[in-house]
């Protein structure tokens, strides 16, 4: 018997069988038929006894090699069938990647919080602490210790909501400065900013609000100068309005500082040349500042012959309005989602 | 303060144009609110009406022949008060009037008219200053053909200074002149008034019983003819924003504007005596002021009396009884010093703020009392034909001793952060006209009486700084070395916000002041609201007890504008009589994270609970939910929240009735006490080794009474303290057939883990059985 031709015949038959098989189950039958115990190939082994001894190893090897080859063929067919089946399955899973995604909208931080936190971060970077205090304050802390005794004409400048004869809704966050100085006991330098909500008797309109947010700053030390104030305010102006901004100080008046200033920043719209935004002046007023009045230092326990300092205060709404071109201060408290949701992304 | 440049030039050399003046004021003195031309009109001349005939073809028009110097023009005029013989203002052809009106030759009903006879309103002077409806008839002696703007003092520019309360010195033309002289280093030309007195003595005696009036000067002035003031004086008053009345009243106002010293004129013949007694009012005393209002006075108001009755409220307003009138011929002219505090109290209590009271409140130059009286006398002689009795009577207890302020030059440099040479400092002081000496590098300045605001050397630094200019101050940073950082609480607050933003809630800010009647709404803890004493409106009368009132309004506002999905939170204070608390509140309405073309998940109680649980887990806080009946909320969808026995807040569906009142449908709201949450947070992070052994899960389904709460079942299982039981959760709730109506089924998943080794299934089964046994005992539960 010619074993080689038998194997060749079987191989031909296997090939034909595999081509027509396209299911894994059917492939099992093919496998049984060609390499199983009852397969013709296995049956060839029974001829071993008829083979001369010296040819037996070669005979066995030939059959085993064929078996191996057959298994490989079946295995590769199996993989082909599986691949095809998977491709069919994946095809059924086809989606339209252009369909809109489910909306997992992220909330937007309030623009006032956003600017406040941005200022906090700027000043923390310069070594300041963030100090807070109550919104219902005593007349003493809100006014008297800030060089605004009762009957002081400048109390008109910030007409206030009194709760009782001695308490009121704070008109600025300056009482937090006083609280901090008192807490420090006049013995160590102060370097703080005080963000918070304040109240003044203004009729609400596009540019006035009876409630608004402030960030105030205070530095008190033995050698804190007006030039330090200028440099600090320049940093603030550039942080909010861009690296090319310049500032100028104009004489003004606050009871708690002397000298006092209004601080203008060069208009970003025209770079100082004059435009509608800055009413042709080239400058936009952004905050008030000054050197701390000696009466304020003394009232808060600091020896004014040893210590001096500067203070400033910004209205957060005003900054936001300038920065983003918001036309009406009431937007900040109306909470229209179409307004709120715009303030996302990086602060710039 | 409205500063007429014509007037200013009387006292100081002004060499710069108005733009330079404005810029210099802005950087070195005071903010300029605006600049104005007194009138915006050109090509105006003085005309003389020679003849005035009715228009042949129009009832209400007159045809006038007006001599304008070079020629006589025919002008058609519609004003009924025009008449032959008058001197008038003529706008020539080509003239521009207020509002840009151009005058051209026109033919009016067949008569050619060449120019226009003007009213003051047509020149741009508001009615409130002149109250003339017809053309302006000039009383002064004038020459035909002259430039009318010049002759009438109307060719003037006005700088409006936005005064701050410390610069009372700028409430006078003299004060402004001093500042201009300092800023531009130019000459001051303030002249001493010269009064020629007559031979009659002043019969008055004056006493003051109160320190609220330490000085009172009185002059008796006679032979007055009350008439309109000359045009130049009227123009200056109008430039300053004051309406001319008659020469006497105008002169008192004029001198006040010039010197800063308020004056008051009494009709001398209406006084009951020849004595003036200044005293403080008695509580409840009444007095009729010249606006004919009966004022009830307080002790502390300062009264001028003639010994028999009050005749003026010192520094605030004169009395009706002794007011100067059209027939007045003799006056007592008062120049006095009233205490700022008393005037301020009286004026603000009676709500009468006048030019006079404003100046007393801010402090006058005590060296100017006599000066002002003399200046007014000088003008009354000139403009009212008056004579002045020779003795000015007075009381004067003012402290006129000189006060000095010391400023070491080193302090000046140390505050400004620059080095100013002594020469530069002296130059600035000379320009400011401060009297000073310098010894051992210390400047000693005599406090000028015109600057009562000066208290200490900081005031002097301010003066030197502003005149020198702040532009040369460099920009440096404080040398104070310090660590900047947020406190734990501040970081926590930021993390709270960040978490809720991540969950899709927008941050809102609402007003703290709310209507009194609704301020308790949505506040679970019904405290008495704190109210403000004098609210601006009922809508802003009380301080909020919860941010939810404002948030509900915000939701309502959005829904009304087509934004049906509103998810908001706010971090802010609430205010109870016991103190302020910081709250975190929020609400959700509409669809949460809508899935567009896929299915939409309806928002419900558990959505907001999930939001809160995410927040709580962020800080490692475990919260107990207890069903509660809360006013304004759904009676069966409300819970109060506690952490370790402390009330944290509430979470509930807003009562449909209240939601509907806001035009909202299903609204879910929460409010938490931020401090309680902060205190409950896991203070520090603790690492636990990751489990090395597998967990075993066991699910059971039990049937219990419908009223049994899932939370109770979970707690009951946790309370058994069974070893290795890590978590208990409810994964299924079922009510309906085949269960009885009063029963429900709960699917409960328990997870067991042992850090020490792999759990044996039979051990876990035993534990599950004991759980079932426990539930059977406690809830009469059966396995399903
Ligand atoms: Zn600009």
A19 vs A151, which has greater pLDDT? A19
Distance, in angstroms, between A89 CA and closest chain B CA?
Answer: 23
pLDDT at A51 (0 to 100): 84
pLDDT at A144 (0 to 100): 96
Tens digit of pLDDT for each residue in B267-278? 999 999 999 999
Residues linked to residue B730 through DSSP beta bridges, in sequence order: B748
The four Cα atoms B725, B730, B732, B738 give a dihedral, to 10 degrees, of 80
Tens digit of pLDDT for each residue in B426-468? 999 999 999 999 999 999 999 999 999 999 999 999 999 999 9
Interface of A with B in 305-344 (CB under 8 A): 308, 332-338, 340-341
C-alpha B68/C-alpha B47 separation (Å) is: 5
Q: Give the least confident one: B465-479, B559-573, B599-613.
A: B599-613
C-alpha B518/C-alpha B548 separation (Å) is: 11
pLDDT at B703 (0 to 100): 96
Q: Which residues contact B546 (CB under 8 A, 6 or more apart)?
A: B521, B522, B523, B524, B574, B583, B585, B671
A332: which chain B residues are within 8 Å (Cβ-Cβ)?
509
Task: Please name the member of A100, A108, A223 whose beta carbon is closest to the beta carbon of B596.
Answer: A100
Task: Using the structure block, give the residue that is written with the tokens 């059209």.
Answer: B326
Q: Decide: B336 and B315 in contact? Cβ < 8 Å.
A: yes
Helix, strand, coil shares of chain B, percent, nearest 5, are 30, 30, 40
Tens digit of pLDDT for each residue in B25-74? 999 999 999 999 999 898 999 999 999 999 998 889 999 999 999 999 99
Contact A99 B28 (CB under 8 A): no
**ipTM of this predicted structure:** 0.88
Tens digit of pLDDT for each residue in B362-409? 899 999 999 999 999 999 999 999 999 998 999 999 998 999 999 999
Tokens standing for B651?
């979470």
Distance, in angstroms, between A164 CA and closest chain B CA?
Answer: 7
Interface of A with B in 267-296 (CB under 8 A): 291, 293-295
Tokens standing for B480?
């104070």
Asked if A219 is an interface residue toward chain B (Cβ–Cβ < 8 A), one would say yes
Q: Give the least confident one: A51-65, B31-45, B542-556, B626-640.
A: A51-65
pLDDT bin (cut points 50, 70, 90) of residue A280 is: confident
Q: Decide: B514 and B550 in contact? Cβ < 8 Å.
A: yes
pLDDT bin (cut points 50, 70, 90) of residue B592 is: confident
Task: Please name the member of B340, B507, B598 whose beta carbon is closest to the beta carbon of A108.
Answer: B507
C-alpha A270/C-alpha A70 separation (Å) is: 85
Please tell me whether residue B477 adopts helix, strand or coil conformation: coil
pLDDT bin (cut points 50, 70, 90) of residue B724 is: confident
Contact A259 B461 (CB under 8 A): yes
Q: Decide: B196 and B385 in contact? Cβ < 8 Å.
A: no
Q: Is the dihedral of CA B400, B406, B412, B414 positive or negative?
A: negative
Interface of A with B in 30-69 (CB under 8 A): none
Per-residue pLDDT averaged across B596-623, rounded? 89
Contact B465 A341 (CB under 8 A): no
Residues, CB-to-ion distance under 5 Å, ligand 1: A 267, 269-270, 275, 277-278
Percent of chain A with pLDDT over 90: 72
pLDDT bin (cut points 50, 70, 90) of residue B598 is: low
Residue A348 has pLDDT above 60, yes or no: no
Q: Hey, which CATH number is domain A111-343, 3.40.50.11540, 1.10.3720.10, 3.30.70.890, 3.30.930.10?
A: 3.30.930.10
B462: which chain A residues are within 8 Å (Cβ-Cβ)?
251, 258-260
Cα B190 to its chain centre, rounded Å, is 37
Tens digit of pLDDT for each residue in B252-299? 999 999 999 999 999 999 999 999 999 999 999 999 999 999 999 999
Distance A273 CA to ligand 1 centre (A): 6
Distance A240 CA to ligand 1 centre (A): 16
Residue in chain A lying closest to B599 (CA): A102
pLDDT at A283 (0 to 100): 94
Q: Which of A274-278, B58-62, B312-316 has the highest mean pLDDT?
A: B312-316
C-alpha A190/C-alpha A123 separation (Å) is: 13
Preferred mutation among B480, B492, B532 to probe A, highest tally of A CBs within 10 A: B480
Percent of chain B with pLDDT over 90: 87
Per-residue pLDDT averaged across A325-335, rounded? 96
Instruction: Tell whether omega for the bond before B738 is within 30 degrees of 0, i.e. cis.
Output: yes
C-alpha A223/C-alpha A191 separation (Å) is: 13
Tokens standing for B228?
């309109």
| SS3 per-residue string spanning B669-692 | EEEEEHHHHHHHCCCCCCCCCCCC
Distance A323 CA to ligand 1 centre (A): 13
Mean of all residue pLDDT scores within chain A: 92
| Long-range contacts, B244-251 (Cβ 8 Å, 24+) | B244/B129, B244/B130, B246/B324, B246/B326, B247/B380, B247/B383, B247/B384, B248/B224, B248/B324, B248/B328, B248/B331, B248/B380, B248/B384, B249/B324, B251/B376, B251/B379, B251/B380, B251/B383, B251/B384
Return the H-helix or E-strand segment holding B287: strand B286-288
C-alpha B628/C-alpha B621 separation (Å) is: 21
pLDDT at B723 (0 to 100): 81
Task: Please name the member of A107, A126, A135 whose beta carbon is closest to the beta carbon of B477.
Answer: A126
| Gap between the terminal Cα atoms of chain A | 91
Contact A333 B164 (CB under 8 A): no
Residue in chain B lying closest to A151 (CA): B341
| Gap between the terminal Cα atoms of chain B | 90
pLDDT bin (cut points 50, 70, 90) of residue A136 is: very high
pLDDT at A158 (0 to 100): 59
pLDDT bin (cut points 50, 70, 90) of residue A58 is: confident
Per-residue pLDDT averaged across B140-147, rounded? 93
Contact A227 B470 (CB under 8 A): no
Cα-only R_g, chain A:
43
Per-residue pLDDT averaged across B10-22, rounded? 94
C-alpha B287/C-alpha B352 separation (Å) is: 14
pLDDT at B204 (0 to 100): 93
Residue in chain B lying closest to A168 (CA): B532
DSSP B375-425: HHHHHHHHHH--EE-SPPEEEE-------EEEEEHHHHHHHHTS---HHHH
Task: Please name the member of A102, A110, A153 whose beta carbon is closest to the beta carbon of B362.
Answer: A153
pLDDT at B594 (0 to 100): 67
Measured from the Cβ of residue B74, the count of other Cβ atoms closer than 10 Å reads 14
pLDDT at B318 (0 to 100): 94
C-alpha A303/C-alpha A184 separation (Å) is: 13
Task: Please name the member of B416, B456, B558 whose beta carbon is closest to the beta carbon of A337.
Answer: B558
| Neighbour-count burial of A269, counting CB atoms closer than 10 A to its CB (0-12 exposed, 13-18 middle, 19+ buried) | middle
B557: which chain A residues are within 8 Å (Cβ-Cβ)?
334-336
Residues linked to residue B651 through DSSP beta bridges, in sequence order: B639, B670
Contact B573 A103 (CB under 8 A): no
Residue B711 has pLDDT above 90, yes or no: yes
Residues linked to residue B241 through DSSP beta bridges, in sequence order: none
Tens digit of pLDDT for each residue in A27-47? 999 999 998 888 888 888 888
Per-residue pLDDT averaged across A83-109, rounded? 89
Tokens standing for B663?
């035009």
pLDDT at A271 (0 to 100): 86
| Long-range contacts, B686-691 (Cβ 8 Å, 24+) | B689/B755, B691/B753, B691/B755
A197: which chain B residues are within 8 Å (Cβ-Cβ)?
512, 572-573
pLDDT at B597 (0 to 100): 66
Distance, in angstroms, between A103 CA and closest chain B CA?
Answer: 5
pTM over 0.90: no
Distance, in angstroms, between A336 CA and closest chain B CA?
Answer: 6
Q: How far is CA B559 from CA B555, B564, B588, B598, in A?
A: 6, 5, 12, 23
B414: which chain A residues are within 8 Å (Cβ-Cβ)?
223, 225, 308
Tens digit of pLDDT for each residue in B503-555? 999 999 999 999 999 999 898 887 899 999 999 999 999 999 999 999 999 99
A134: which chain B residues are within 8 Å (Cβ-Cβ)?
573, 579-580
Tens digit of pLDDT for each residue in B332-367? 999 999 999 999 999 989 999 899 999 999 899 999
Per-residue pLDDT averaged across A142-167, rounded? 85
Tens digit of pLDDT for each residue in B96-126? 998 889 999 999 999 999 999 999 999 999 9
Measured from the Cβ of residue B462, the count of other Cβ atoms closer than 10 Å reads 23
Contact B415 A226 (CB under 8 A): yes
Residue B238 has pLDDT above 70, yes or no: yes
Contact B165 A291 (CB under 8 A): no
Asked if A121 is an interface residue toward chain B (Cβ–Cβ < 8 A), one would say no
pLDDT bin (cut points 50, 70, 90) of residue B416 is: very high
C-alpha B473/C-alpha A225 separation (Å) is: 10
Mean of all residue pLDDT scores within chain B: 94
Contact A191 B480 (CB under 8 A): yes
């Amino acid at each position: 018997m010619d074993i080689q031709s038998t194997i060749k015949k079987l191989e031909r038959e296997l090939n034909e069988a595999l081509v027509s098989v396209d299911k894994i189950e059917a492939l099992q039958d093919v496998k049984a038929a060609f390499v199983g115990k009852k397969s013709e190939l296995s049956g060839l082994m029974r001829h071993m006894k008829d083979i001369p001894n010296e040819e037996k190893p070669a005979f066995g090897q030939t059959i085993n090699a064929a078996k191996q080859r057959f298994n490989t063929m079946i295995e590769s067919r199996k993989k082909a069938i599986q691949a095809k089946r998977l491709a069919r399955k994946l095809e059924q899973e086809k989606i339209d990647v252009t369909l809109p995604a489910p909306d997992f909208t992220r909330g937007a931080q309030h623009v006032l919080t956003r600017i406040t936190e941005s200022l906090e971060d700027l000043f923390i970077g310069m070594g300041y602490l963030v100090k807070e205090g109550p919104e219902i304050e005593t007349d003493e802390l809100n006014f008297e210790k800030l060089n605004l005794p009762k009957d002081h004409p400048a109390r008109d400048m910030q007409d206030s909501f009194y709760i009782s004869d001695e308490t009121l809704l704070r008109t600025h966050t300056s009482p937090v400065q006083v609280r901090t100085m008192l807490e420090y006991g006049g013995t160590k330098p102060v370097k703080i900013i005080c963000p918070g909500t304040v109240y003044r008797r203004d009729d609400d309109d596009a540019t006035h609000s009876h409630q608004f947010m402030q960030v105030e700053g205070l530095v008190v030390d033995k050698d804190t100068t007006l030039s330090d104030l200028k440099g600090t305010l320049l940093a603030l102006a550039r942080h909010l309005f861009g690296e090319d901004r310049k500032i100028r100080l104009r004489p003004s008046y606050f009871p708690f500082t002397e000298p006092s200033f209004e601080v203008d920043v060069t208009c970003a719209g025209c770079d100082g040349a004059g435009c509608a935004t800055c009413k042709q002046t080239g400058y936009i007023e952004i905050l008030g500042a000054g050197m701390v009045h000696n009466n304020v230092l003394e009232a808060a326990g600091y020896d004014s012959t040893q210590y001096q300092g500067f203070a400033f205060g910004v209205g957060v709404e005003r900054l936001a309005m300038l920065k983003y071109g918001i036309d009406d201060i009431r937007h900040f408290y109306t909470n229209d989602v179409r307004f709120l949701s715009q303030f996302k992304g990086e602060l710039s | 303060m409205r500063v007429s440049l014509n007037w200013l030039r009387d006292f100081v050399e002004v060499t710069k144009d108005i733009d330079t003046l404005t810029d210099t004021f802005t950087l070195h003195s005071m903010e300029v609110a605006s600049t104005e031309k007194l009138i915006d009109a050109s090509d105006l001349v003085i005309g003389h009406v020679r003849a005035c005939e009715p228009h042949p073809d129009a009832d209400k028009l007159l045809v006038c022949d007006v001599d304008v110097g070079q020629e006589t023009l025919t002008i058609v005029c519609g004003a009924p008060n025009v008449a032959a013989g008058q001197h008038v203002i003529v706008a020539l052809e080509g003239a521009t009037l207020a509002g840009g009106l151009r005058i051209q030759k026109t033919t009016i009903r067949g008569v050619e008219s060449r120019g226009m006879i003007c009213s003051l309103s047509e020149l741009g002077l508001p009615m409130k200053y002149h109250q003339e409806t017809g053309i302006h008839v000039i009383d002064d002696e004038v020459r035909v053909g002259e430039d009318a703007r010049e002759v009438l003092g109307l060719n003037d520019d006005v700088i409006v200074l936005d005064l701050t309360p410390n610069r009372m010195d700028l409430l006078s033309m003299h004060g402004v002149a001093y500042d201009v002289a300092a800023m531009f280093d130019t000459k001051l030309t303030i002249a001493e008034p010269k009064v020629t007195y007559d031979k009659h003595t002043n019969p008055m005696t004056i006493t003051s019983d109160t320190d609220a009036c330490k000085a009172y000067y009185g002059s008796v002035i006679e032979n007055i003819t009350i008439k309109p003031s000359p045009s130049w004086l009227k123009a200056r008053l109008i430039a300053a924003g004051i309406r001319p009345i008659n020469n006497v009243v105008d002169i008192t106002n004029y001198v006040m504007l010039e010197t800063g010293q308020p004056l008051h004129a009494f009709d001398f013949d209406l006084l009951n005596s020849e004595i003036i007694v200044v005293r403080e009012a008695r509580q409840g005393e009444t007095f009729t002021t010249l606006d004919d209002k009966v004022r009830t006075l307080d002790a502390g108001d300062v009264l001028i009396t003639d010994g028999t009755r009050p005749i003026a409220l010192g520094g605030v307003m004169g009395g009706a009884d002794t007011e100067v009138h059209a027939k007045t011929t003799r006056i007592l002219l008062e120049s006095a010093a009233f205490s700022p505090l008393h005037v301020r109290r009286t004026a603000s209590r009676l709500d009468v703020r006048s030019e006079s009271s404003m100046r007393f409140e801010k402090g006058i130059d005590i060296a100017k009392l006599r000066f002002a009286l003399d200046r007014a006398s000088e003008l009354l002689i000139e403009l009212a034909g008056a004579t002045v009795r020779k003795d000015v009577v007075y009381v004067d207890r003012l402290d006129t001793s000189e006060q000095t302020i010391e400023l070491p030059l080193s302090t000046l440099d140390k505050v400004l952060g620059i080095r100013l040479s002594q020469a530069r400092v002296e130059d600035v002081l000379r320009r400011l006209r401060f009297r000073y000496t310098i010894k051992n590098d210390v400047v000693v300045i005599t406090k000028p009486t015109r600057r009562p605001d000066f208290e200490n050397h900081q005031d002097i630094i301010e003066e030197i700084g502003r005149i020198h200019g702040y532009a040369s101050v460099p920009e440096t940073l404080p040398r104070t070395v310090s660590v900047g950082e947020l406190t734990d609480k501040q970081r926590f607050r930021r993390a709270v916000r960040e978490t809720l933003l991540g969950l899709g809630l927008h941050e809102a800010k609402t007003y703290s002041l709310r209507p009194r009647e609704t301020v308790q709404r949505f506040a679970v803890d019904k405290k008495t609201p704190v109210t403000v004493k004098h609210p601006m409106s009922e809508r802003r009368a009380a301080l909020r007890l919860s941010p939810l009132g404002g948030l509900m309004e915000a939701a309502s506002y959005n829904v009304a504008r087509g934004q049906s999905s509103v998810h908001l939170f706010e971090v802010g204070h609430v205010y109870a009589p016991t103190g302020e608390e910081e709250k975190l509140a929020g609400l959700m309405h509409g669809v949460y994270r809508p899935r567009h073309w896929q299915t939409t998940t309806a928002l419900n109680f558990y959505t907001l609970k999930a939001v809160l649980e995410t927040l709580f887990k962020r800080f490692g806080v475990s919260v107990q939910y207890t069903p509660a009946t809360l006013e304004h909320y759904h009676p069966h969808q409300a819970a109060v929240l506690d952490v370790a026995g402390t009330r944290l807040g509430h979470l509930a569906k807003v009562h449909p009735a209240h939601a509907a009142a806001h035009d909202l449908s299903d609204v879910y709201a929460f409010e938490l006490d931020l401090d309680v949450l902060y205190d409950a947070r896991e203070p520090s992070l603790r690492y636990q080794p990751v489990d090395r052994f597998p967990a075993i899960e066991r699910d059971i389904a039990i049937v219990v009474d419908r009223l049994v709460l899932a939370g109770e079942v979970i707690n009951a299982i946790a309370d058994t303290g069974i070893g290795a039981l890590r978590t208990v959760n409810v994964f299924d709730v079922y009510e309906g057939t085949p269960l009885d109506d009063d029963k429900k089924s709960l699917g409960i998943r328990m997870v067991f883990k042992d850090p020490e080794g792999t759990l044996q299934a039979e051990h876990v089964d035993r534990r599950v059985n004991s759980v079932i046994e426990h539930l059977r005992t406690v809830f009469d539960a059966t396995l399903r």
